[in-house]
Amino acid sequence: MESMLYVYGCDRQGHRKPCRVARVNMGDVVIKDQWEIYSPDGNWDKDLTRGKVVFNGNGIMSVAFNPFLDRLVAVYSQPMSTAVMFRTAEHPEGPWSRPVEAFKAMASSSTHG
């Protein structure tokens, strides 16, 4: 069985960044019609326009498996804030936990963030 690659994409909708998750077999990454997205009906769908929002995160985000927690962990900065947030889930599509503030990052010394 091939390993799966999961990719999260988060749109910009004002100050919210709804995230969706897609997957593909590692050997098929460059073949567009092999990708699937998690859909509102709870299934994986080849129609990539049917993505279900799995949580609100941010465009700059990391999702990785944490063996200590035995869960996936998503880490991201809260949009328009210095708060660094995390969420956990057993599966890439969730359900994801509520966001928890891990710490506050230092404020930027420039006006560009």
**Pairing of β 83-89 and β 71-77:** antiparallel
Q: Name residue, tokens 């708060």.
A: 83
CA torsion sign for 95, 98, 102, 106 is positive
Provide the pLDDT confidence category of residue 79 given band limits of 50, 70 and 90: confident
DSSP SS3 for 33: helix
**What is the percentage of the chain residues whose pLDDT exceeds 90?**
75
Domain ranges of the chain: 4-104
- In 2-112, the DSSP E strands lie at 4-10, 18-25, 36-38, 44-45, 55-56, 61-66, 71-77, 83-89, 100-104
- Contact indicator for 27, 2 with CB cutoff of 8 Å: yes
Total residues found in the chain within this entry: 113
Q: pLDDT tens, 44-72?
A: 999 999 999 999 998 789 999 999 999 99
